[in-house]
């Protein structure tokens, strides 16, 4: 038999993969202690890690379990010193609406908000429209759209009746507001329209050029007793629509508007304060909304701010006769029911935070209660069109 000839090695040395004596060599593994299966598992784990890292970066931050782990281990990590700056964390709530009631201290609060917005960096959104509180459906949709698209956190303020954002598919913001004794609010508005405040009578007369002299100097008792339109309903039904809303029945004095206003106060307003207790209102706002109102009370008590506030006190304010006041209370019965309801809720809230209310006794029914007008700081009425200009002039001083 012929011997099987062995193939000759290629020139230049031994064949590929052959060792000395012509034996085939096995390839050496990268990690001698791992099998091929283990090596595949390691590569799969590495791939998963890379994908997780990519998701981490695309998501803008660590997953929740890493944050919990960091909290458990401590607040100091490598990222504190070497990582990117944290994203801006929005305060809660980040959407606040102050649909300010005319002649209830709103100009004082708006002036404070201008100072606070610069101090705390929130977006104070105001409006160039100051004399339109009732809106059509299309106007409501347009205003809600403009408010909702504002940069957050924002605080929007304007003289406008309550807007239901959720009705038009928007996120319902948190509402705040301030009211005051209805008769005192009416008297303040009556004399302010005629004689202005301590900024000067002549300046205010320029703003109301169409008012006739006999109307400007009309005696308040004559206006009430002879049932002039300015001193009668529906003009006296003023505060409740700010909380009832844009429904036509909200402008009709009655139980329906009153109950709807109470419901909105309970469901949509974080705080409705009383102007007669303004310092306590500011204190509660500072506790509820610190991102907006931190240090508001100290700013308000600053002597320089007090000087500005004194300029807004209405001049030539007179007290009607007892007979005229009794008629006013009867005409404003629903306004007073709402006022006392809000006042009671406000005092309950104050007691929860340990604040004392200086009330000696329960007030009787409004039609038999005759208070004296309060000398409180006055806001500009919604009929005045240069509210924002006045505030800008203050900042130029």
**pLDDT tens track for 235-274:** 999 999 999 999 999 999 999 999 999 999 999 999 999 9
pLDDT value of position 263:
98
pLDDT value of position 370:
41
Is 69 a domain residue? no
CATH number of the domain residue 107 falls in:
3.40.50.300
Is 49 a domain residue? no
Is 77 a domain residue? no
Is 293 a domain residue? yes
pLDDT tier for residue 394 given thresholds of 50, 70 and 90 = very low
User: Residue 140 above 80 pLDDT?
Assistant: yes
Is 363 a domain residue? no
User: Exposure of 391 by Cβ count < 10 A (0-12 exposed, 13-18 middle, 19+ buried)?
Assistant: middle
The distance in angstroms from the start CA to the end CA of the chain is 122
Q: How far is CA 309 from the centre of its chain?
A: 23
pLDDT in tens, 128-137: 888 899 999 9
Residues of the chain with pLDDT > 70: what percent? 66
Specify the pairing of strand 269-274 against strand 174-179: parallel
For the question of residue 82 being annotated catalytic, the response is: no
Distance CA(118)–CA(299), nearest Å, equals 13
Q: 195 lies in which domain range?
A: 95-355
Is 126 a domain residue? yes
Is 373 a domain residue? no
Is 370 a domain residue? no
Tell me how many domains the chain contains.
1
Q: Which of 120, 130, 159, 247 is catalytic?
A: 159
User: Residue 21 above 60 pLDDT?
Assistant: no
């Amino acid at each position: 038999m012929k011997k099987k000839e062995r193939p000759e090695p290629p020139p230049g040395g031994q064949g590929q993969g052959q060792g000395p004596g012509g034996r085939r060599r096995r390839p050496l593994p990268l990690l001698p202690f791992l099998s091929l299966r283990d090596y595949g598992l390691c590569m799969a784990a590495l791939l998963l890690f890379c994908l997780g890292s990519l998701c981490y970066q695309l998501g803008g931050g660590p997953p929740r379990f890493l944050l919990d782990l960091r909290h458990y281990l401590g607040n100091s990590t490598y990222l504190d010193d070497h990582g990117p700056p944290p994203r801006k964390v929005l305060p809660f709530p980040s959407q606040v609406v102050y649909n300010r009631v005319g002649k209830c201290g709103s100009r004082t609060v708006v002036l404070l908000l201008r100072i606070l917005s610069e101090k705390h960096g929130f977006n104070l959104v105001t409006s160039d429209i100051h004399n339109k509180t009732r809106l059509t459906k299309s106007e409501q949709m347009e205003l809600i759209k403009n408010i909702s698209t504002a940069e957050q956190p924002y605080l929007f303020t304007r003289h406008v009746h309550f807007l239901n954002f959720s009705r038009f598919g928007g996120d319902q913001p948190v509402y705040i507001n301030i009211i005051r004794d209805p008769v005192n609010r009416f008297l303040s508005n009556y004399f302010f329209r005629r004689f202005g405040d301590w900024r000067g009578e002549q300046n205010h007369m320029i703003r109301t050029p169409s008012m006739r002299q006999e109307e400007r100097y009309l005696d308040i008792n004559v206006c009430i007793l002879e049932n002039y339109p300015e001193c009668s309903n529906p003009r006296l039904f003023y505060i409740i629509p700010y909380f009832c809303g844009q429904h036509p029945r909200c402008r009709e004095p009655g139980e329906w508007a009153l109950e709807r206003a109470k419901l909105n106060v309970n469901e949509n307003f974080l705080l409705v304060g009383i102007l007669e207790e303004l310092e306590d209102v500011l204190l509660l706002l500072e506790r509820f909304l610190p991102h907006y109102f931190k240090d508001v009370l100290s700013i308000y008590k600053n002597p320089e701010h007090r000087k500005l506030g004194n300029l807004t006190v209405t001049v030539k304010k007179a007290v009607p006769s007892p007979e005229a006041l009794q008629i006013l209370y009867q005409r404003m019965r629903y306004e007073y029911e709402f006022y006392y309801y809000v006042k009671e809720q406000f005092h309950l809230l104050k007691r929860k935070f340990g604040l004392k209310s200086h009330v000696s006794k329960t007030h009787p029914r409004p039609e038999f209660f005759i208070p004296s007008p309060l000398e409180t700081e006055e806001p500009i009425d919604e009929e005045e069109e240069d509210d924002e200009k006045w505030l800008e002039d203050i900042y130029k001083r």
